[in-house]
């Protein structure tokens, strides 16, 4: 079931993440309604070993399912930014075309070094994928 079917379902999804994903130590995610059909999700998900996922999502529910219009997801360990994902289009970078506009910023030049991000979507929640990626890194 896709929790993006409605804004109330996505709110329930966000506020019950910690119950469904036992690897989460703490969540400060909040859904800020910007009207009856739009919202912003923001906050942090704290995971073991000092990992933290910072979430920013802009959502719209003018149709069902709703859509993530834009996002920015940063992965930190302690005070160190490891990488981030965003949906800012880069149409002049053909190597990103396979997942346009979804991409990941990685070291060494984290601002300019981008790679495709096949696990992200505007039509499905991205948070479970991102947490899974972090958990794989923890066990690597």
Q: Using an 8 Å Cβ cutoff, are 31 and 23 in contact? A: no
Give residues with Cβ within 8 angstroms of 97, minimum separation 6. none
Pick the range with the lowest mean pLDDT from 19-28, 39-48, 88-97, 122-131: 88-97
pLDDT at residue 78 in the model: 95
Average pLDDT for residues 57-66, to the nearest whole number? 94
- The CA radius of gyration of the chain, in Å to the nearest whole number, is 15
In this predicted structure, the answer to whether residue 140 has a pLDDT above a threshold of 70 is: no
Calculate mean pLDDT across residues 14-34.
Answer: 95
Whether the full predicted model's pTM is greater than 0.75, yes or no, is yes
Looking at the 3D structure of the chain, how many domains does it have?
1
Q: How many residues does the chain have?
A: 140
What is the reported pLDDT for 49?
94
User: Do 86 and 108 touch, CB atoms closer than 8 A?
Assistant: no
| Domain hosting residue 42, numbered range | 3-138
Looking at residue 90, its pLDDT comes to 85
């Amino acid at each position: 079931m896709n929790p993006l079917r409605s804004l109330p379902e996505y709110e329930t999804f966000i506020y019950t993440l910690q119950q469904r994903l036992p690897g989460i130590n703490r969540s400060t995610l909040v859904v800020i309604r910007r009207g009856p059909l739009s919202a912003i999700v923001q906050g942090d998900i704290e995971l073991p070993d000092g990992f933290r996922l910072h979430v920013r999502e802009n959502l719209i529910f003018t149709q069902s399912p709703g859509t993530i219009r834009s996002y920015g997801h940063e992965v930190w360990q302690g005070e160190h930014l490891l990488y981030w994902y965003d949906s800012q289009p880069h149409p002049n970078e053909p190597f990103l075309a396979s997942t346009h506009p979804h991409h990941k910023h990685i070291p060494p030049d984290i601002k300019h070094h981008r790679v495709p991000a096949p696990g992200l979507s505007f039509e499905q929640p991205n948070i479970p994928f991102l947490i899974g990626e972090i958990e794989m890194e923890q066990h690597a």
